[in-house]
Copies of this chain bind each other. A is one copy, B any other.
Amino acid sequence: MPHQPRSAQPGQETPGPETDHTTPLQLSVDRTSPVPLYFQLAQQLEAAIERGRLAPGSLLGNEIELAGRLGLSRPTVRQAIQSLVDKGLLVRRRGVGTQVVHSQVKRPLELSSLYDDLEAAGQRPATRVLRNTVQPATAEVAAALGVPEGAEVRLIERLRYAHDEPMAYLRNHLPIGLFDCDTARLETTGLYRMMRSAGITLHSARQTVGARAATAEEAERLTEPSGAPLLTMERTTFDDTGRAVEFGSHIYRASRYSFEFQLLVRP
């Protein structure tokens, strides 16, 4: 997600090799594969767009013809196209056709953990677990997690480092019994990765991002001067059944971090 080291520059993407506008595009499906036909087609179209074989703005050819060419039914082809429309890669216009979206649309950023972000950025992340206990939920935590006030919840406090420098102070509350919350594993990986490997399917998160000046204690913990601007984030994460699986209340050194994310308009 969303978190990005300040140092990371949004590099300009180099254009792919010259697009071949003559051949109509090589597409085929494997009916012996367990992969759904619509999914195979969607993957191939997405790859073609990605590689520039389908130029931005170019028409895809009508659905009937595409279905005939692949030996598929029209609904199946439509399902493939629809999945790419949902991803924002294609646009359908009645009476016109289906075209590749103009300009390179960057793919939406994933809901990843700060740990993964740092690792992907080559920042050599490290974690120090300051606390890993079970406590009764305060009113705020109970409301966020949807548990009764006073119910036991796990509290985890961590310092996240990159290149041996503190980057963020992370405070998480989790429902107990959801998955094994081993301190040793917490030190070597991210919370979301632990959840995913426990079979939890993350679905959405609601966040509030703000800023404020660091207190003396916070400043010391993050090796910032007192009063330095901090980024604050509160996040409640939900799984695919709508249950809250995590409530976090974090602070980041604003001098080192900013959040990057993609918002989608829900029509």
Contacts and interface: CB of A to CB of B under 8 A. Distances in A.
Interface of A: 1-2, 4, 6, 12, 56, 75, 86-88, 91, 101-108, 110-111, 143, 146, 202-213, 227-232, 238, 240-244, 254-255, 257-266
Contact of A242 (B6, B102, B209, B259): B102
A258 B210 contact: yes
A34 to B, nearest CB: 15
11 contacts: A56-B242, A75-B75, A102-B241, A105-B238, A107-B266, A108-B204, A108-B264, A111-B265, A204-B263, A207-B260, A212-B255
Contacts of A243: 102-103
A88 B254 contact: no
B258 A209 contact: yes
B105 A264 contact: no
Contacts of A257: 210
Contact of A211 (B102, B103, B229): B229
A216 to B, nearest CB: 15
Given A209-B258, A259-B209, A264-B264, A146 B242 contact: no
